[in-house]
Structure 1
């Protein structure tokens, strides 16, 4: 779960990022009420996908799908966790993990909903592999995500995206009814240099190596 800290805002101007680190601007967005007609059955083009609930996925299986969907955008946080840490999250009864599968049963995306804060649902991870994007399938997946997220007792659904994600991510969430409420900067060690992700992941984000100490 992401907990923004607004107590120490950055001053205006440029701020150096150490070689070997990455920086991104994170935008958090929320809904305070479900979209009108969310539960109503509406005609829609046939979508060749289905959601498959993973109630107790093995850590290796989860990491494989997480990396397939997220490595082009430097998703790394779950890859850096031990089996025990990861299992504690994805096997928690308040966390719902879904694979997005095509008609042949091949996983082409993932959805993870986190209900661990009472009255809230965080769409923790939401994405399709690159070959499945740009076809309108994201809207289908978001509708299914929101139908699940707005469970009984939920008063707020939220999600976050960042400047490492594809440029269409933020306008997509806003177009689906999410309202931005916070923005902050995240700095972290480049996971490609630590071997968490392959070094050729996300080539649009250059790797800057630390200068060796003489």
Structure 2
């Protein structure tokens, strides 16, 4: 446990506050139509190169790095697990949003990844995708649907999850090497987050 006060972050690392949220019943969300020209697609076998391209496209501005350094066999095992569901929103065959639902733990579902390409923000795509996520998650016999977000994510993310029916229940501090310094993400990504080497 961290004591009250300031704590030095190791050089070349980032610190973020992670908020864990959950819901224990299907929320009463209004029906939302798919934005024009967007189609929800389930990927039974998402090839690693296009998957990582989409992961980077929606997450690089928030320093998502976990899938970028994961060994290919480990990532393939996750993406092809029958209890792990991967979806995207496509426009003209191009993936522009990512939704991953993890049912590998009995009686629960984790909203493992949820992100939109910058071109979709403000068009209702996020609300549509969350509505579909809740429908898919609660179509299974689960007792809990959970997600976590952090202070590196979009400033709108936490309130969006709360408005969607998730309730915060725990916080943690995560420290990790800055992926802009390890070469996983380009050095000029996420200019809103100071790069301190």
Same fold (TM > 0.5): yes
Q: Which runs of 5+ in 2 are unaligned?
A: none
- Residues 1:144 and 2:136 aligned together: no
Q: 2:82 aligns with which of 51, 76, 93?
A: 93
Is the CA contact 2:101–2:113 (under 8 Å) kept in the aligned structure 1?
yes
CA-to-partner distance for each residue in 1:74-131, whole Å, 9 max, x for gaps?
00000011111110111111110111112x2221111000001000000000011111
CA-to-partner distance for each residue in 1:167-207, whole Å, 9 max, x for gaps?
10000100111000100000001111111111111111121
Determine the C-alpha separation between the residues in 2 that align with 1:110 and 1:70: 9
Give the ranges of 4+ consecutive aligned residues of structure 1 lying more than 4 Å apart after TM superposition: none
Q: Which residue of 2 aligns with 1:22?
A: 14
TM-score by length of structure 1 reads 0.88
Q: Which runs of 5+ in 1 are unaligned?
A: 1-8, 210-214
Determine the C-alpha separation between the residues in 2 that align with 1:187 and 1:53: 33
TM-score by length of structure 2 reads 0.95
Deviation at 1:46, TM superposition (A): 5.3
The 5-angstrom pairing of residues 7-156 of structure 1 reads: 9-36=1-28, 42=31, 44-45=32-33, 47-48=35-36, 49-102=38-91, 104-156=92-144
Determine the C-alpha separation between the residues in 2 that align with 1:151 and 1:45: 19
Question: When the two structures are aligned, how many residues end up with a matched partner?
Answer: 196
**Partner SS, residue 34 of structure 1:** coil
Q: Which residue of 1 aligns with 2:193?
A: 205
